[in-house]
Amino acid sequence: MSPEDAQKEDRCCRRKLPKKEIITDKNTIRSLYDNNMQIRVKIGIITAIIVPQEHWGFTIIIKKAVGNAVLRNRIKRVIRAVYRLIKTKINTPYNIIFSVRENPPDNLIPNFNQLFDTLTTALK
């Protein structure tokens, strides 16, 4: 493999989250909702349900009624970026469910810094 190919592959895969961290099982999500040790944090239109676990995991639940596809994808990108950053700052692993169920006012995306600050203070 040439150095250029290695750089391309590194750039391509660098931003992906590990598949084992993405929670897709409905029963697991339901059990996290029903967990008594959960912390609920409301940040604008985003509700985060945080449950201490043995390993990191997250899922994003966003209704189709929220804006158009471009807005929903932008919100998901911001949430994933905050999750990546939080993982590096917090030592204790958590499972986090991010839920968006209402339209943002004037189609504004959530503020990255506000979301990050609120979650880090809730997790400490």
Model pTM? 0.78
What are the C-alpha distances in Å from 89 to residues 23, 24, 120?
21, 24, 8
Neighbours of 109 (CB within 10 A): 15
Res 110: pLDDT: 74
For each of the domains in the chain, give its residue range(s) and CATH number, in order of start. Answer: 19-123 (3.30.230.10)
Res 10: pLDDT: 53
Of 93, 90, 31, 102, the C-alpha closest to 61 is: 102
Mean pLDDT value of segment 65-77: 87
Q: Which two tokens stand for residue 87?
A: 């993982």
Res 62: pLDDT: 92
Residue 59 in contact with residue 23, Cβ under 8 Å? yes
Give 22-34 pLDDT, tens digit per residue.
888 888 888 888 8
